[in-house]
Amino acid sequence: MGICAQSQVEANKFMKKLELNYRLVADPTCEVAKLLNTKGWIKSVIKDTTGKVGDTIENMTGYRYAVAMLQPGVVSLKGPTDKEDEPTMLLTWGSKPSAKNVNGSIHRLKADLAWTIIQKSLTGDLSDSHPPEDQEDDMLPFPLPVFYMILVAHGNFIGPKAFVADSEGHFDRSVLKVAMAKLVAFVVLFIVVLSLAPLVGVILLVLYSIYVVTVIVPKLKRWRPK
């Protein structure tokens, strides 16, 4: 089964769209995830969004979260599950948002690897049941600093703006290309200004650098749950 922090209406739409052959259960208060954390079966990162609708959480994800946003995680257990005996943990993995994985957007555990680990654990060999938090084979197409610069360009250099799919799961890649073009144009413009009017260029560069440090960098930091 799958658990999500959206409403059951949204979960049902997602199940239908992807033609999932398993059930998706809405857990908008993240009570199931909290229980799994308490049991020690998984380490799920949960970001409280109470009273924050419309802030960076919604802008970043494209969804509204009534209570909390739940980061990706996978847990596979083999019974028994009664009060006296604990189940065998075949696989446990949870995404811990950081600058390195772009707030949990990359370095995720892939489905084929998860299934391979589960099959191995079912033989009694649990050596791979706790895969690393960051899966290095899932990488960004460009260096992380460049990606953050593209996010800022997407926000028209006022602040970072994430690339998100719509409520139907569609992502327009042309949006990414436009942001990259904006970044290139921005750099070229600065070079031209510096070559034609060095003093003006230096002043503008210093002023924008101050803006980046005091406004943009704090916004990027607020994206990452503690």
Q: pLDDT, tens digit, for every residue of 65-84?
A: 778 888 889 999 998 766 67
Q: CA 182, CA 150: separation in Å to the nearest integer?
A: 8
Of the candidates 89, 62, 59, the residue with the CA atom closest to the CA atom of residue 77: 89
* Residues of the chain above pLDDT 70, percent: 85
- The most distant pair of C-alpha atoms in the chain lies apart, rounded to whole Å, by 78
Residue 53 pLDDT grade (very low, low, confident, very high; cuts 50, 70, 90): very low
For range 192-211, the mean pLDDT: 92
Residue 54 pLDDT grade (very low, low, confident, very high; cuts 50, 70, 90): very low
Q: CA 37, CA 70: separation in Å to the nearest integer?
A: 12
The more confidently predicted of residues 23 and 166 is 23
What pLDDT, on a 0 to 100 scale, did the predictor assign at position 138?
A: 63
Please state the length of the chain: 226
Q: What is the pTM assigned to this prediction?
A: 0.68
Looking at every residue in the chain, the average pLDDT score rounds to 83
H-run or E-run covering 221 = helix 217-222
Residue 211 pLDDT grade (very low, low, confident, very high; cuts 50, 70, 90): very high
140-169: pLDDT as tens digits: 677 778 888 998 999 899 988 877 766 555
87-126: pLDDT as tens digits: 899 999 999 887 777 777 788 898 899 999 999 999 999 9
The more confidently predicted of residues 138 and 11 is 11
The letter for the amino acid at 115 is: W
Residue 209 pLDDT grade (very low, low, confident, very high; cuts 50, 70, 90): very high
Handedness of CA 114, 119, 124, 127 (dihedral sign): negative
Instruction: Please state the domain extents for the chain.
Output: 1-70, 74-139, 140-226
What pLDDT, on a 0 to 100 scale, did the predictor assign at position 94?
A: 92
Q: CA 161, CA 149: separation in Å to the nearest integer?
A: 10
